[in-house]
Structure 1
Amino acid sequence: MTGRILVPHDGTEMSDRALSKATEFASALGAEMVIVHIVDSRFVPPSATLGFISDRTSLESAKAELVRILKSGAEQMLKKKIDDVRKKGVRVDFVLGVGSPADEIVKVARSVKAGMIVIGSRQLKGGNQLKALGSVARKVSETAHCPVMIIR
């Protein structure tokens, strides 16, 4: 392990669990952490986008504005979490990205030279659901260059 742990965080309880576990590892190993939040720009809901459109505003500029707002909200959400990690003596940075979450997480992991990814995953229940098929955690675990720990 290179001493850098990547933790994708989307604001969910499962992400908080992954962040807690990664903080434990980083503290014990003397590793750095990088928290990443990806705004999924592929699925901007039309109803949300329409609220930003005026006669002179294009759909693309409305989408860009919505992504900017989502990134700003993510940054605010992560500030407290970053402060909490730093209080535990762990060096931590964060990265905000836009795109397909699994693909972007893997790209960020490579770019920051992460030695490990700790990611939360919700457990799908029910007989008709395909458990975790298509999930971000599954795709990250299949395409990452480093070990991936999935927290449930």
Structure 2
Amino acid sequence: MYSKILVAVDGSESATQALEEALRVATATGAELVVVHVIDNSYLRYEVGYVDLTDLRTSLVEGGQQLLDEAKARAAAAQVKCTTIMIDEPLALGDVSTAIEQAAEQAGAELLVVGTHGRRGVKRLLMGSVAEGLVRQCRLPVLLVHAPKPA
């Protein structure tokens, strides 16, 4: 079946659900899990004047590392072999879906698991969708995991 599964995490509820689903598939197939987090450097597109972005950048990197560490701990608890990748490429400027696809190809993943927020209409138009970009452009099978509906 699958020997390597890549899952993208961003701290959202849908990404947490995607990680849980990827762990279930990895456990069932004996696959290795690769967890990726992309630092969204899209803030670099905007002129912010004389604001020092050092603290923001440090916070983004530290938060990303914490997400990866938590995912690795969950994989260890499930007895799933796991590696992590942090992508911090300022040149991508917000093209998160391409960065995830490239990481999947480089890691030799056979399945890509991502969460989707299920945005519709104007929200989707304004905010875009990493999941939609992956489904449209990725050559690998993509498993979309929806966030739970609010109570």
TM-score bin (small chain)? 0.7 to 0.9
Give the match for residue 24 of structure 1: 24
* Structure 1 position 128, deviation (Å): 4.6
Task: Give the share of equivalent positions with the same residue, in percent.
Answer: 26
Distance between the aligned counterparts of 2:61 and 2:124, measured in 1? 31
Aligned residues: 140
Please give the secondary structure, in 1, of the residue aligned with 2:34: strand
Please give the secondary structure, in 1, of the residue aligned with 2:11: coil
Please give the secondary structure, in 1, of the residue aligned with 2:70: helix
* Structure 1 position 40, deviation (Å): 1.2
* Uncovered stretches (5+) of structure 1, i.e. residues with no partner: 53-61
When normalised by structure 2's length, the TM-score is: 0.81
Give the match for residue 87 of structure 1: 77
Superposition RMSD in Å: 2.4
Distance between the aligned counterparts of 1:111 and 1:3, measured in 2? 14
Q: Does 2:112 match 1:122?
A: no
Distance between the aligned counterparts of 1:132 and 1:66, measured in 2? 23
* Uncovered stretches (5+) of structure 2, i.e. residues with no partner: 147-151
Matching residue within 101, 106, 114 for 1:106: 101
Please give the secondary structure, in 2, of the residue aligned with 1:34: strand
The residue identity in structure 2 corresponding to 1:22 is A
Is this contact kept in 2: 1:18–1:151, CA < 8 A? Answer: yes
Distance between the aligned counterparts of 1:51 and 1:9, measured in 2? 28
Question: Which of these two proteins has the greater Rg computed from alpha carbons?
Answer: 1
Deviations 1:83-121 (A, max 9, x none): 121111100111000232111000000000100001000
Q: Does 2:86 match 1:96?
A: yes
Give the match for residue 8 of structure 2: 8
